[in-house]
Structure 1
Amino acid sequence: MSGTAPRLKAAAHAAVERRAEEIAALSDELMRRPEPGYAEHATAERFAAWLTEAGLQPRTGLARTGVKAVLPGGGAGPRVALVGELDALTLPEHPLADPATGAAHACGHHAQLAAVAGAAIGLGEVMAELDGSAALIAAPAEELGDVDGIMDAAGAPAGGSDRVEFPVGKAELLRLGAFDDVDMALLAHTGRGGGPRFSVGDTLNGSCVVRARFTGRSAHAGSSPWLGVNALKAATVAAHAVDAQRETFPDGDDVRLNYRITGDAGALGSVPASAVLHTMVRARTVEGLERAAEALTRAARAGALALGARVETDTLLAYLPLTSAPGLDDVVARNAHPLMGAEATARGRHLGACTDMGDLAHVMPVSHPYSGGAEGDHHSTGYRIVDHRAAAVEPALYLAGAVVDLLADGAREARRVLHASPPPLSLPQYLALRRGMNRHEIQEEA
């Protein structure tokens, strides 16, 4: 099968524009009913309903709430996934936060879903003339949620089919085989308010969470504190040791550290017998992550040793670093520029944030562009989509156009991308890497 890409793109764009107000309204609707990761039931139901109304037969309940539908083409060829994220961030102080769960769309995932829904409408008009197919995927849990629950379940006997092994949704979908038939993937993310209108080819950090649980011994804090072991002070010493590590990381690792300490709920007059130090470490490479995570576990051991406490450390890989496929970025940029202008484009930045698109990038070519439409900083109470056309409709247009370019004329462009950007890892190698970076260690009292 072959078709003229400009003609097919014009038809796809016209279909998107006819529904532009509905696409923008869907983005706004989802923004106002946020749900936390692995619990995005209403959001998934709404997305699946849109696909059903478009004549598709979506599969639901993937990794609890994920949704997937396939738009077949008119000829054999690669499969391109358009991916959106279902979840919101836990940020109870956000003005649009759900009062029951604290979830708020402070990262713009709702606009991604609307963009995929809109692109599906456009592609439905032209897929019969394309060589390949498109998968429309809504993924759960891009934000880190119940990290403690994942850590505590590690090594426990396998539960039911609903059990989650990984803290982020695309890793779970990969584990469960939802991407087995996908050759490459695109996801359009809203950018920071005040940032470039369009950005592509950016690299992002990966991250680990290191949890150190300190156990001491309670005692009367006034009359006999020497009989106790202060777990909270052990955690505080460890936190200072974490801070002392910052200058030891190579510049090229782009390490970011943030942590929080929680103590026990005991009486103020007692020596605290338990405390927990949670640290998230981000780095540009897997090797940088491993070096930094080891430094954090050393810091935890040092805090325990200084006070004579016991410490258990758990390291959990959260996200792998993201590097996109240059050829795929070129296709996306080529379709975005007519909408926004090449002069409005940034390319090749390094961002300290993380995304589980980095996990996908380890097993297939991906592109993760950023679009406009937002105000405020990601993950802040001021973040909000204020222009749903820029955040959802424009990405729907350039995503649909990119799929047309990739799959037109015998899918020549898609095959070129696949040849130029072979995946770094096979799926078994990826799963082994992910599981191999998780570990549990114990240091008993000195």
Structure 2
Amino acid sequence: MPSPEDLSPLLPTMTEWRRDLHRHPELGFQEHRTAAFVAASLRGFGIEVAEGLAGTGVVGTLRGRPGNRAISLRADMDALAMTEATGLPYASEAPGRMHACGHDGHTAMLLGAARWLAANRERFAGTVHLVFQPAEESLGGARVMAEQGLFARFPVDAIYGLHNLPGLPLGTIAVPKGAVLASSDTWEVTFRGAGTHGAKPHLGTDATLAAAAFITALQAIASREVDPLGTAVVSVGHIAAGDPAAPNVIPATVFLKGTARALAEDVRTHVETRIAEIARGIAALHRLQAEPRYIRRLSPTVNHPAQAAVMVRAAQASAGAANARDDHPPITAGEDFSEFLARIPGAYAWLGTGAPAHPEGWHHNPHFDFNDAALIHGAAFWCSLVETELA
């Protein structure tokens, strides 16, 4: 099986690719330059290329020896709407946009693996579809690709995803059993009462008081209604009420918006139901109206057992048994790779990138930067996975 040492000659090239992508970040469904770079690179390796799925998605098809099986490897390409603060020589040149989650590294790693695999086709039997996905960050690029016929055009037996994880030792591959990431949903509640003068609260119905009670009551969902061995998170992220120029007025309307997370679908459904029930119950208690709304966005990302086991074997082969883990706990962030796993068996793994270079350099932080030393570890893992699946 290929090891990081086998791919080490590619590290300078992959680093160059990654830093070029980092300098030119593009938001979801706007990854035109990135997609063109990916497509041109794949063609240069002698790989068949399809463009335009979900607008900016790219799929490279790589065929090895004759074989009946096919798999997909996925990398996301989009950046975040953030202003970079790293001060690095290759920092973002696009105001208000940066690769703050490492998708530049994911793209470079999969390109590196594609180049190595294209030069070593005799080492596997079957077909590998390299999926370069747009718009992972909240816009549902995976769903759009699937709905536009990704798996009809490129049928596969399994699909795999890999994401960098700062804090995990460099080169470690962690493949969680079962749940990897949580659902990610948005909820809204509007409380409507009757506004009045702040000195005469008895003449109105105070939507602010109801909202305050609602915020407190929400926390009982996770702490008292979900199994302590399960997971649920309900957070308030936005409150809008009144006018700061009129603090002596009790507003008639309060609007709240937040996020809800769960690792299991039954817990997710319970959270959705209870947010609405609590909102309406508190509204009735305070003699006003509540208008709850729950928006399902991303389902939990849950690994399929057989494919997770394949990832572990591939990790052991490329990284060594000491650097392959199957016990990593779930994380309550969300991932639209769940859209693929709802349709095709597959699994998702973490690639350790070591401690961040900056103390604040975690995902979605303006000081984040992908550790280029991890590129050969990720690319070698991809190559090992292909040989493991398509032996």
Structure 1-normalised TM-score?
Answer: 0.74
Gaps of 5+ in 2: none
Distance in 1, Cα, partners of 2:78 & 2:86: 17
Once the 2 structures are TM-superposed, how far is the Cα of residue 263 of structure 1 from its aligned partner? 0.7
The answer for the alignment partner of 2:385 in structure 1 is 402
Q: Percent identity?
A: 24
Distance in 1, Cα, partners of 2:190 & 2:29: 29
Once the 2 structures are TM-superposed, how far is the Cα of residue 28 of structure 1 from its aligned partner? 2.3
1:396 corresponds to which letter in structure 2?
Answer: A
The answer for the alignment partner of 2:221 in structure 1 is 245
The answer for the alignment partner of 2:72 in structure 1 is 81
Residue 216 of structure 1 contacts residue 228 of structure 1 at CA under 8 Å; is this kept in 2?
Answer: no
Residue 193 of structure 2 contacts residue 207 of structure 2 at CA under 8 Å; is this kept in 1?
Answer: yes
Compared with structure 1, are the counterparts of its residues 49 and 230 closer, same or farther at alpha carbon in structure 2 (3 Å cutoff)?
Answer: farther
Distance in 1, Cα, partners of 2:206 & 2:28: 35
The answer for the alignment partner of 1:236 in structure 2 is 212
Compared with structure 1, are the counterparts of its residues 369 and 277 closer, same or farther at alpha carbon in structure 2 (3 Å cutoff)?
Answer: same
| CA offsets 1:318-377 (integer angstroms, 9 cap, x no match) | 222233244433443344345543223332222223322233223323232222225143
Matched, 1:187 2:173: no
Gaps of 5+ in 1: 1-5, 145-166, 409-446
Q: Larger deviation: 74-83 or 344-353?
A: 344-353
Distance in 2, Cα, partners of 1:93 & 1:177: 35
The answer for the alignment partner of 2:293 in structure 1 is 314
1:370 corresponds to which letter in structure 2?
Answer: W
Compared with structure 1, are the counterparts of its residues 246 and 23 closer, same or farther at alpha carbon in structure 2 (3 Å cutoff)?
Answer: same
Residue 81 of structure 1 contacts residue 182 of structure 1 at CA under 8 Å; is this kept in 2?
Answer: yes
Residue 184 of structure 2 contacts residue 300 of structure 2 at CA under 8 Å; is this kept in 1?
Answer: no
Matched, 1:177 2:149: yes
Q: 1:268 aligns with which of 234, 238, 245?
A: 245
Compared with structure 1, are the counterparts of its residues 345 and 71 closer, same or farther at alpha carbon in structure 2 (3 Å cutoff)?
Answer: closer
Residue 318 of structure 2 contacts residue 384 of structure 2 at CA under 8 Å; is this kept in 1?
Answer: no
Residue 171 of structure 1 contacts residue 359 of structure 1 at CA under 8 Å; is this kept in 2?
Answer: yes
Distance in 2, Cα, partners of 1:104 & 1:242: 34
Paired residues for 1:408-419 under 5 Å? 408=391
Compared with structure 1, are the counterparts of its residues 62 and 226 closer, same or farther at alpha carbon in structure 2 (3 Å cutoff)?
Answer: farther
Residue 191 of structure 2 contacts residue 289 of structure 2 at CA under 8 Å; is this kept in 1?
Answer: yes
Distance in 2, Cα, partners of 1:308 & 1:65: 50
Distance in 1, Cα, partners of 2:81 & 2:17: 21
The answer for the alignment partner of 1:206 in structure 2 is 182
1:388 corresponds to which letter in structure 2?
Answer: D
The answer for the alignment partner of 1:254 in structure 2 is 231
Distance in 2, Cα, partners of 1:29 & 1:178: 28
Distance in 2, Cα, partners of 1:331 & 1:362: 18
2:172 corresponds to which letter in structure 1?
Answer: F
The answer for the alignment partner of 1:418 in structure 2 is none
Aligned residues: 375
The answer for the alignment partner of 1:164 in structure 2 is none
Residue 82 of structure 1 contacts residue 185 of structure 1 at CA under 8 Å; is this kept in 2?
Answer: yes
- Answer 1 or 2: higher relative contact order, Cα 8 Å, separation at least 6: 2
Paired residues for 1:91-240 under 5 Å? 91-92=82-83, 95=86, 102-127=96-121, 130-144=124-138, 167-180=139-152, 181-195=155-169, 197-202=171-176, 203-214=179-190, 216=192, 219=195, 221-222=197-198, 229-240=205-216
- 1:179 alignment partner, SS class: helix
Q: Larger deviation: 131-140 or 332-341?
A: 332-341
Residue 212 of structure 1 contacts residue 311 of structure 1 at CA under 8 Å; is this kept in 2?
Answer: no
Once the 2 structures are TM-superposed, how far is the Cα of residue 226 of structure 1 from its aligned partner? 5.2
Distance in 1, Cα, partners of 2:94 & 2:235: 27
RMSD across aligned positions (CA) = 3.1
Compared with structure 1, are the counterparts of its residues 343 and 56 closer, same or farther at alpha carbon in structure 2 (3 Å cutoff)?
Answer: closer
Q: 1:388 aligns with which of 367, 372, 391?
A: 372
